[in-house]
Every structure is written in structure tokens, then in C-alpha cells.
């Protein structure tokens, strides 16, 4: 099926919230990783989200070019070409983009979509994220509101972050962040709603924080407080009715228990970002292949090695298959198995 257009993407999110499941959103840095996501989603019969970060885009463009927007375009164009071969919808999203990178990442991608629309072509991306969490909330929203207005004109959704996710992702650290900022308050959520709702008819996602931490952690290490989401949603419903409830995003889920994940989904999470766990799933079989076939992949003492062992297609296929299995686990954790729109 094609990449989800605006109408389909909105329908996906509405169904997720109504039926209390969430879509996994996977960060990718290459065509192989994107293929793994599509494979896992298709085998799970679940629609989903493929996303590219600033660092992922820069990597995808090549070390000599190092252009985050160009790399993101390349991955998105690949997904547009191959998505028709799969029986699920996939939305294309860009992950964390701080204010100082908007002009070199998100804005060029919005411009690319605007250019495509003038030519009668579908949007390049389905949504973008602006991460203004390092700013005071007013400064965050002062940038987010006009950005949402521009996105809305081109049928793009915008994701913002209210609060700070701890840990490190894509080279950006939240070290030294006051503990209070790791937990989004109902008052903060109401302020975000008042500001963003000024853009009439626009659809947006909110990454509210409830103790989330980016990075690698053993189960039980990360102490989440999903009730924070419940309290915020209750305040929003009181102020705006059920239509005012946020479509929430769960960042930093590594190390979270299944119960915590599903409790967050119960409170309105419709999208959960996954990166660390799929990175490991991708790399693990490559490492295993290298250890098992050391003399085949290394030309030891003047020998020629074994081409069948060092051909990148051999171990990259293993990586794709392993990552696809981790995608399927994420879908199951989020109650998404068998929810594809095509089957509805």
C-alpha cells in the first residue's frame, strides 16, 4: 500500500486511540533498516511509522555529504517506492529536531513537500517533530504554533514535546535536567492545548513526559509514572471535552515494563518511539556472524578469506530479519497485531 496520506494517517491515529493500541515508530538510518520495519509490520498485520532523526538523516546521506535533510529525503523516497509492495500503511515522520536545527532539517523537508504538492505529487513526509523541550514552555510553543500552521496548510501533522525525556539520543543529552521537567504537569498540557488549538483544524501529537529516559536500561531501572498522563488528559477533558484529549507519544521506552507500556496506551498514547532496541536487534546477528566466521571475513596471513562470508548482503540480510522480529515484538507489546486498516 502507498505511504499513508493525511486522511489515512488521521484515521490510523483515531482508530488507535479508540481501540487502545499504539503504533510503533521506528528510527531508521538506511534502506535495509526501513525494509526491516516494513517486513515486521507486514508480518504483524499492523500499520506503523518509519521515522528519521537528524543524525540518521546525516548518516544516510554519506559521511562526505553529511546532509541531514538530503539523507531523510533519500530514505523517504525509498519507502515511497517500496511501500506499494506491502499490505500495510506506513506513515513517514521525522524525529527530534531542536530549534537550532529546524532551518537545516525540518524546514527543507516541509519545503520539499510544498514543492511536491504544487506538482500534484503526494507529500514526502506525513509528519514532523519539533523538539523545543530545552526551551521554556512559552518559547517552545511560540515556535511550535506557527510551525503547526505551516504544516497544516500542507496536510502535515506536527509532534511537539512538553517536558524533557532524560538520557541521550542522537548525541543530544538531557544531563542535568531538573527532575521536575521529567514530568509534564496538567498545567503544561493545558498551556500547550491553548496555544496549538489556535490553529483551527490542525492535527498534532504531544510527547508528554512521565519519567521517560532515552538509552539502554535493564527492565525495572526506569521509573515511569503513567498516571501523569491520566491526570493531564483528565484536565484536558474537563477544559475541552473528549475532543480535547491529546494524541500522546511515548519516548524513551527502552527498559520499560510491558505493564507500564500498556498503561500509558490506556491513557491515550497512540505512538511509541523505538530506536535503541531495534539498533541492538540489527547489530547482534552481524556480530555473531563475524565471530563465527572470523577466518572467512578477515584475510588472515595473506589468505583470501571467504567471499560468501564477507559479502555484506549475507550479514545485512541477517540484520534485516532480526530487526523485523523485534518490530513484531513491539507491535505485540502495543496491542497492534492484526489491526491493519486493510483488514478492518
How remote is the C-alpha of 307 from its chain's centroid? 36
Residue 170 in this model has a pLDDT that exceeds 60: no
User: Residue 169 phi/psi, 5° resolution?
Assistant: -145, 135
CATH topology of domain 6-288+323-343: TIM Barrel (3.20.20)
Catalytic pick from 47, 67, 95, 131? 95
CA distance 113 to 95: 17
pLDDT of residue 253: 72
CA distance 326 to 246: 28
Residue 303 in this model has a pLDDT that exceeds 90: no
Residue 213 in this model has a pLDDT that exceeds 80: no
CA distance 149 to 152: 5
User: Residue 4 phi/psi, 5° resolution?
Assistant: -60, 130
Over residues 109-167, the pLDDT tens digits come to 999 999 999 999 999 999 999 999 999 999 999 999 999 999 999 999 999 999 766 54
pTM reported for the whole predicted model? 0.92
Alpha-carbon radius of gyration of the chain: 20
157-162 and 204-208 beta bridge pairing:
parallel
User: Where are the domains positioned within the chain?
Assistant: 6-288+323-343
Over residues 52-98, the pLDDT tens digits come to 999 999 999 999 999 999 999 999 999 999 999 999 999 999 999 99
Could you confirm whether 95 is annotated as catalytic?
yes
CA distance 280 to 159: 26
What letter does residue 2 receive in the DSSP assignment? P
Q: Could you please report the per-residue DSSP string of 76-122?
A: HHHHHHHGGGSSS-EEEEE----GGGGGGTHHHHHHHHHHHHHTTPP
Residue of 162, 16, 160 whose CA lies nearest to 89: 16
Q: Where are the beta strands (DSSP E) in 131-201?
A: 157-162, 166-169, 172-173
Residue 207 in this model has a pLDDT that exceeds 70: yes
Residue 174 in this model has a pLDDT that exceeds 80: no
Over residues 239-292, the pLDDT tens digits come to 999 999 999 999 977 668 899 999 999 999 999 999 999 999 999 999 999 999
| Average pLDDT along the chain | 92
Amino acid at each position: 500500500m502507498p505511504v499513508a496520506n493525511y486522511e489515512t494517517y488521521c484515521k490510523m491515529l483515531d482508530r488507535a486511540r479508540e481501540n487502545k493500541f499504539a503504533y510503533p515508530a521506528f528510527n531508521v538510518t538506511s534502506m535495509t533498516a526501513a525494509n526491516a520495519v516494513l517486513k515486521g509490520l507486514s508480518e504483524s498485520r499492523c500499520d506503523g511509522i518509519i521515522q528519521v532523526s537528524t543524525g540518521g538523516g546525516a548518516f544516510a546521506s554519506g559521511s562526505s555529504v553529511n546532509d541531514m535533510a538530503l539523507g531523510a529525503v533519500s530514505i523517504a523516497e525509498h519507502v515511497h517506492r517500496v511501500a506499494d509492495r506491502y499490505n500495510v500503511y506506513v506513515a513517514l515522520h521525522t524525529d527530534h529536531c531542536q530549534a537550532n536545527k529546524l532551518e537545516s532539517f525540518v524546514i527543507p523537508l516541509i519545503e520539499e513537500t510544498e514543492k511536491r504538492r504544487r506538482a500534484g505529487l503526494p507529500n514526502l513526509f506525513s509528519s514532523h517533530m519539533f523538539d523545543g523541550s530545552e526551551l521554556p514552555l512559552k518559547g517552545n510553543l511560540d515556535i511550535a504554533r506557527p510551525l503547526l500552521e505551516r504544516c497544516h496548510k500542507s496536510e502535515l501533522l506536527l509532534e511537539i514535546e512538553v517536558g524533557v525525556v532524560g538520557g541521550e539520543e542522537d548525541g543530544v543529552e538531557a544531563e542535568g535536567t531538573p527532575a521536575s521537567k521529567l514530568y509534564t504537569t496538567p498545567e503544561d498540557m493545558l498551556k500547550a492545548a491553548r496555544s496549538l488549538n489556535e490553529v483551527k483544524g490542525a492535527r498534532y501529537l504531544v510527547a508528554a513526559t512521565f519519567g521517560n529516559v532515552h538509552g539502554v536500561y535493564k527492565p525495572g531501572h526506569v521509573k515511569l509514572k503513567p498516571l501523569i498522563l491520566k491526570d493531564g488528559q483528565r484536565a484536558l477533558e474537563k477544559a475541552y471535552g473528549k475532543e480535547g484529549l491529546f494524541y500522546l507519544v511515548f519516548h524513551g521506552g527502552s527498559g520499560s515494563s510491558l505493564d507500564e507500556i500498556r498503561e500509558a496506551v490506556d491513557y491515550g498514547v497512540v505512538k511509541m518511539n523505538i530506536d535503541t532496541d531495534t539498533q541492538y536487534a540489527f547489530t547482534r546477528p552481524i556480530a555473531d556472524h563475524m565471530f563465527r566466521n572470523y577466518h572467512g571475513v578477515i584475510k588472515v596471513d595473506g589468505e583470501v578469506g571467504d567471499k560468501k562470508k564477507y559479502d555484506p548482503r549475507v550479514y545485512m540480510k541477517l540484520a534485516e530479519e532480526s530487526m523485523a522480529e523485534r518490530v513484531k515484538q513491539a507491535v505485540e507489546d502495543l496491542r497492534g497485531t492484526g489491526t491493519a486498516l486493510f483488514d478492518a
